[in-house]
């Protein structure tokens, strides 16, 4: 077979053979296989062109993925795992590493910055997410340690202030719920300090509501025991409960 014509079409080249067959490939494939100078193509070279085209198609697809959004090495490997040979994946990854398009440290830094600026996620949750991206443990530790303590404290204070403002629970219950929430969104227990929180909400109405509900069914010692038990279960403190009961019974 002979090459009759090579024509550029967009980002690819169209090679027309004398038997009418058309090959769409890349300039890298043309240069790598000396197609500009060697016009004769046998079956072995044709297979080589096909194999090289598949490789560069995947390579360019990887570049486009990274240009749209930074990717970890594991993401790129996982994306191609069912489509091309592992040797080709290794080759693509190593090539992209050399030119800096795959850099797990840069990815981890960018990921952490986005989470800090755009979400409520704390350091522990960010670290866990980076583990899911198969980022090296040493990189994760370095990135998490680089987050200024002042930023962590500032975010904690902001979340605590917002939650306190919207609180509808007694102080003891609220602090329990808030602590668990902060841990769940990734803040270390050692960084969480709720000692200075003061709940000024008047929960007399809530206690009165419970009393009215129980007093329609019970009285005397039975009412006392059930009221005390119900108020405890709602998170009211002993002094609050005793003070309320003294007024009501």
Confidence of residue 105 (pLDDT cuts 50, 70, 90): very high
The larger pLDDT score, comparing residue 189 to residue 38, is at 189
Residue 212 has pLDDT above 70, yes or no: yes
Tens digits of per-residue pLDDT, 23-47?
Answer: 899 889 888 888 876 678 888 988 9
Whether 231 is in a domain gets the answer yes
Q: 55 and 88 in contact (C-beta within 8 Å)?
A: yes
Confidence of residue 247 (pLDDT cuts 50, 70, 90): confident
17 and 78 in a single domain? The answer is yes
Range from 124-138, 191-205, 218-232 carrying the lowest mean pLDDT: 191-205
pLDDT value for 113: 94
82 and 16 in a single domain? The answer is yes
Q: 207 and 231 in contact (C-beta within 8 Å)?
A: yes
The parent domain of residue 55 ranges over 3-98
Whether 79 is in a domain gets the answer yes
pLDDT value for 37: 66
Whether 197 is in a domain gets the answer no
pLDDT value for 142: 97
212 and 185 in a single domain? The answer is no
14 and 89 in a single domain? The answer is yes
Mean pLDDT, range 196-212, rounded to an integer: 76
Nearest to 32 by CA among 48, 43, 17, 14: 48
Whether 187 is in a domain gets the answer yes
Whether 211 is in a domain gets the answer yes
Whether 133 is in a domain gets the answer yes
CATH of the domain at 12: 1.10.10.10
CATH of the domain at 124: 1.10.10
The larger pLDDT score, comparing residue 126 to residue 247, is at 126
Whether 69 is in a domain gets the answer yes
9 and 88 in a single domain? The answer is yes
74 and 157 in a single domain? The answer is no
229 and 213 in a single domain? The answer is yes
113 and 157 in a single domain? The answer is no
SS3 24: strand
Helices marked H in 81-216 — which ranges? 86-98, 104-118, 123-132, 137-145, 149-165, 171-184, 204-215
Residue pointed to by tokens 């969104």: 185
Mean pLDDT, range 36-59, rounded to an integer: 86
Whether 179 is in a domain gets the answer yes
Mean pLDDT, range 44-63, rounded to an integer: 92
pLDDT value for 104: 97
Looking at every residue in the chain, the average pLDDT score rounds to 89
pLDDT value for 202: 62
Tens digits of per-residue pLDDT, 60-94?
Answer: 999 999 999 999 999 999 999 998 899 999 999 99
- Measured CA to CA, the distance from residue 247 to residue 249 in angstroms comes to 6
Share of the chain above pLDDT 90, in %: 51
When computed from its CA atoms, the radius of gyration of the chain, rounded to whole angstroms, is: 33
224 and 168 in a single domain? The answer is no
Domain end point (choices 130, 145, 160): 145
134 and 187 in a single domain? The answer is no
How many angstroms separate the Cα of 222 from the Cα of each of 61, 76, 215, 219, 236?
74, 67, 10, 6, 19
Q: How many domains does the chain have?
A: 4
Tens digits of per-residue pLDDT, 117-173?
Answer: 999 999 999 999 999 999 999 999 999 999 999 999 999 999 999 998 888 777 778
Q: 229 and 196 in contact (C-beta within 8 Å)?
A: no
- Measured CA to CA, the distance from residue 196 to residue 200 in angstroms comes to 13
pLDDT value for 167: 83
């Amino acid at each position: 077979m002979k090459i009759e014509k090579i024509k550029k079409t967009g980002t690819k080249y169209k090679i027309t053979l004398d038997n009418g067959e058309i090959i769409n490939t890349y300039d890298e494939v043309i240069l790598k296989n000396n197609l500009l100078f060697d016009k004769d193509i046998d079956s072995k070279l044709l297979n080589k062109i096909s194999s090289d085209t598949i490789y560069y198609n995947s390579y360019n697809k990887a570049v486009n993925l990274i240009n749209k959004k930074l990717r970890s090495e594991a993401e790129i490997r996982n994306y191609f795992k069912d489509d091309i040979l592992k040797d080709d994946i290794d080759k693509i990854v190593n090539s992209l590493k050399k030119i800096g398009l795959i850099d797990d440290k840069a990815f981890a830094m960018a990921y952490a910055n986005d989470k800090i600026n755009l979400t409520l996620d704390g350091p522990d949750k960010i670290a866990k997410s980076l583990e899911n991206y198969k980022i090296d443990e040493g990189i994760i530790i370095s990135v998490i340690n680089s987050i200024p303590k002042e930023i962590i404290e500032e975010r904690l204070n902001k979340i605590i202030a917002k939650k306190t403002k919207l609180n509808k629970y007694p102080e003891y219950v609220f602090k329990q719920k808030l602590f668990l929430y902060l841990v769940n969104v990734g803040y270390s227990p050692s960084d969480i300090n709720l000692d200075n929180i003061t709940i000024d909400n008047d929960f007399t109405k809530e206690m009165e509501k419970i009393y009215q509900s129980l007093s329609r069914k019970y009285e005397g010692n039975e009412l006392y025991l059930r009221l005390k038990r119900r108020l405890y279960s709602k998170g009211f403190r002993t002094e609050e409960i005793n003070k309320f009961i003294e007024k009501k019974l």
